[in-house]
Amino acid sequence: MTYKNWKLERETDGESGHIAWAILDVAGASANALGAEVMTELGQLLDDCEKNPPKALIFKSGKAAGFIAGANIEEFAQNDTPEKARAAVQRGWDVYERLSRVNFPTLALVRGHCMGGGLELALACRYLLAVDEPATKMALPEVMLGISPLWGGMKRLPERIGAPAALDMMLTGKTINAKRAKSMGLADECVPPRVMENAARMLVLSNTPRRELKFMDKLMSGPLKSMVANGAKKQVAKRARPEHYPAPYSIIDTWQNYGGNGLAIPADKPTSLDSLMAHPTTRNLIRVFFLQDRLKAFGKDAKGFEPKHVHVIGAGVMGGDIAAWCALRGMTVTLQDQSVERIAPAVGRAAKLFEKKLRDKKKARFALDRLIADPKGDGVRQADVIIEAIFENLDAKQKLFADIEARAKPTALIASNTSSLKLADIASTFKDPSRLVGIHFFNPVAMMPLVEVVAGEKTAPEQAARAAAFVRKIDKLPLPVKDGPGFLVNAVLAPYMNEALKCIDEGMTPEAIDAAALAFGMPMGPVELADTVGLDVAKAVGEQLVKSGTPPKKVLDLIAAGNLGKKSGKGFYTYVDGKAQKGVVPQVGAGDTAILADRLIAPMVAATQKLVADGIVADADLADAGVIFGTGFAPFRGGPINYSKSTA
Ligand code: NAI
């Protein structure tokens, strides 16, 4: 039998039967995603194997991109009735149940990404062999889309690695590399690529029994189950309220009470598949997933641009962290400032970042070797990308760029990280102003996924496309914006923070204001945010970007008293070890909190709508994406414009 998306290859080894290889190579796609057709064909492939049983069956990918990227989300999102969603889930659940029971040994040879439904397939096999290379990553990330691993992952993962580790993976969606997968028992073996096929043949025929769960893990899936479930619920409650994010609570309930079978939950329960599918969060998170893909696609329009060397000028808060991030992502980086002394603190911060992110001394050392202090700026001549991040002064930037333009390679991308200067003004002293583009990072660089790619009046479109490609190369999300005060993100944040500060002048407490924003789903309250960026900076940005009304008075008083926020230990809050010391939140009804939240969010929504109307960002969807990834705007609300439509 031939399949559209699978190949079934049987290899003979002479007298004693054969090993069959099920190779997934989804037609017309660069990565394997599991849609209805692929799953139906998997059932037929199992029919085929049962009719003519192999000695063993090994699954592998026919794609260079990886093993399996997960379920076909686009297709899943089209299930617009509970019946259709249940049918799609049932199909996956049934075929993996069947796979788990075939009477020949099975193995998943996992190389590259193995996500969601892909990992559930691997878990339904008897063995999982992980190939040890950086691209190999396993995860059950369904929770990030507001759903749960419904094809048997919730049942099989705890059986394999114990409930605490399994819940941790399913509730956070975190990825596990090959070595870690082996050490935690998710993978049976971890081997280098050159021996993977032989290792797969040997392991699948080895008859090795499954590693038994540790005694404590058995208890935790038995008598201590409700204790584990309650602990997990408490952990989840710290990050996500059930009314905002029902999926993690559904995962815990499914594991605790339904043997990992989400289909067994009655439709009228809030943790059921039907309830999840009907919840606006699921729709919005799936929307955010596609928006993220749209941002990623902006990096694809500069074919042939392969930047390897980045030169950063200005080793301050931003330049230092941009340089560190680029080195972490494999670039060679030269970092320039006025003296070595000014570069040293940035290198110190970079060393800490590498240790934290790479968790491997040798790799951290290599990353540090890629970050080169360059006080004289010799790197400008060789660099593929040059990013200016000196202080916000037009004259200083123009002088610096005159030198850069004269010395840079003709093919080098020249960028500024300016937040508030007009790109066209900086470019006005260029010989060729079409070369300058804005690459605007957010603080803290390591945590913020978005980078605005700013096209000034004269910026050549191909330079903006190359800038977006560079942003993807360092694993950030590029958002193309036009040159305008505050671009998108700051122009949206400023009126929101200003409204919060006005509330303070009216006598509300910072605690009440921040609590309302948190209840709405913001990652941090606007008052604490103002303290964090620095009240002097917040005031300056507010004056520039919020044209109406007078500046909030309490801010001016605090600044006059030298209380600039977190950096000086006191602002609206007092800071101990970097943490805001908050007083009691006054008890008000949920209705009042929601009214206050709406008051804070309204200027943000209005600003976003205006920026779309002014063409600063191409359309409302991209604006929503930018505000979510650039400010942390509650993702489950799908962005400010999407939110305003839902409340209209
Ligand atoms: P910063 O004051 O921390 O660092 C600026 C650095 O540039 C200093 O180390 C200074 O010695 C160096 N510098 C000044 N002139 C120089 C020159 N001619 N040659 C070499 N080095 C020179 O400033 P920060 O906050 O890092 O800001 C830098 C740029 O990034 C500004 O354009 C700012 O608007 C922008 N930005 C700042 C953000 C923030 O949160 N601080 C966020 C996003 C962008």
Q: Whose CA is nearest to atom 12 of ligand 1?
A: 314
* Ligand 1 atom nearest to CA at 443: 40
**CB within 8 Å of 423: residues ≥ 6 apart:** 416, 436, 437, 438, 454, 455, 456, 457, 459, 483
Question: Is residue 358 predicted with pLDDT exceeding 70?
Answer: yes
Q: Which of 202, 217, 232 is the last residue of a domain?
A: 217
- Among 5, 490, 498, 642, the active-site one is 490
Considering the chain, what percentage of its residues have pLDDT values greater than 70?
99
Q: Using the 3D structure, point to which of 185, 217, 249 is the last residue of a domain.
A: 217
445, 545: one domain: no
Statement to judge: residues 517 and 457 lie in one domain: no
Domain boundary among the residues 153, 188, 217 is at 217
Q: What is the secondary structure of 169-219 as a DSSP string?
A: HHHH---EEHHHHHHHTSSSEEE-GGGHHHHHHHHHHS-PPPPPPPHHHHH
Q: How confident is the model at residue 549 (pLDDT cuts 50, 70, 90)?
A: confident
Domain CATH code at residue 577:
1.10.1040.50
- What's the gap in Å between 531 CA and the centre of ligand 1? 20
Range of the domain at 441: 309-484
Give the CATH number, domain containing residue 335. Answer: 3.40.50.720
For residue 359, the model assigns a pLDDT of: 85
**Is 267 a member of any domain?**
no
What are 456's two structure tokens? 């000034």
Q: What are phi and psi of 221, to 5 degrees?
A: -95, 0
Residues 30 and 149 both lie in one domain: yes
Q: Are residues 83 and 184 in the same domain?
A: yes
Decide if 262 is inside a domain.
no
Do 544 and 450 lie in a common domain? no
Q: What is the pLDDT of residue 301?
A: 86
**Confidence at residue 16, expressed as pLDDT on a 0 to 100 scale:** 62
128-184 pLDDT, tens digit per residue, is 999 999 999 999 999 999 999 999 999 999 999 999 999 999 999 999 999 999 999
Residue 284 CB less than 6 A away from ligand 1: no
Q: Using the 8-state DSSP alphabet, how is residue 585 labeled?
A: P
Count of structural domains, the chain? 3
Ligand 1 atom showing the smallest separation from residue 420 Cα: 34
Q: How confident is the model at residue 14 (pLDDT cuts 50, 70, 90)?
A: low
| Distance (Å) of CA 302 to CA 413, 468, 549 | 12, 8, 44
Question: Could you say which DSSP state residue 586 is in?
Answer: P
SS (H, E, C) 9-42: EEEECCCCCEEEEEEECCCCCCCCEECHHHHHHH
pLDDT tens sequence across 417-471? 999 899 999 999 999 999 999 999 999 999 999 999 999 999 999 999 999 999 9
15 pLDDT above the threshold of 60: no
State yes or no: is 452 an active-site residue. Answer: yes
Residue nearest to atom 8 of ligand 1 (CA): 316
Distance CA 505, CA 523 (A): 23
Evaluate whether residue 166 is within a structural domain: yes
Q: What percent of the chain has pLDDT over 90?
A: 88
- Provide the pLDDT for residue 160: 96
Q: 431 lies in a domain? A: yes
Per-residue model confidence (pLDDT) at position 591: 76
Q: One-letter amino acid identity for 412?
A: A
Is 511 catalytic? The answer is no
pLDDT in tens, 501-543: 999 999 999 999 999 999 999 989 999 999 998 999 888 888 8
Ligand 1 pocket, 342 CB below 6 A? Answer: yes
| Same domain assignment for residues 41 and 27 | yes
**Residues 49-59: tens digit of each pLDDT:** 999 999 999 99
Give domain status of residue 247, yes or no.
no
Regarding beta strands 18-24 and 6-12, do their DSSP bridges make them parallel or antiparallel, or are they unpaired?
Answer: antiparallel
Average pLDDT across the chain, whole number: 95
Residue with tokens 């509730």: 171
Give yes or no: 490 in active site.
yes
User: 546 and 461 in one domain?
Assistant: no
Is 419 an active-site residue?
yes
How does residue 17 score in pLDDT terms, banded at 50, 70 and 90?
confident
Do 160 and 12 sit in the same domain of this protein?
Answer: yes
Q: Quick one: 453 and 328 in the same domain?
A: yes
Nearest Cα residue to 186 out of 138, 254, 117:
138
pLDDT per position as a tens digit, 243-258:
999 999 999 999 999 9
Residue 550: CB atoms within 10 Å? 8
Do 207 and 89 share a structural domain?
yes
Distance of CA 305 to the CA centre of its chain: 24
Average pLDDT over residues 472-499: 96
Residue 90 placed within a domain: yes
Statement to judge: residues 495 and 478 lie in one domain:
no
422 in the same domain as 385? yes
Give me the phi and psi of 327, to 5 degrees please.
Answer: -65, -40
Choose which residue among 313, 318, 439, 535 to substitute to test ligand 1 binding: the one with the highest number of ligand atoms within 8 A of its C-beta: 318
Tell me how far the alpha carbon of residue 194 lies from the centroid of ligand 1, in angstroms. 47
In a domain, 256, yes or no: no
Is 400's C-beta closer than 6 angstroms to any atom of ligand 1? yes
Residue 270, preceding peptide bond in cis (omega within 30° of 0): no
CATH number of the domain where residue 163 is located? 3.90.226.10
Residue 139's pLDDT is 98
Task: Write out the DSSP string of 203-259.
Answer: HHHS-PPPPPPPHHHHHHTTTTHHHHHHHHHHHHHHH--TTT--HHHHHHHHHHHST
Quickly tell me which residue has 């040798």 as its tokens: 362
Residue 279: inside a domain, yes or no? no
- Annotated catalytic residue: which of 120, 142, 405, 452? 452
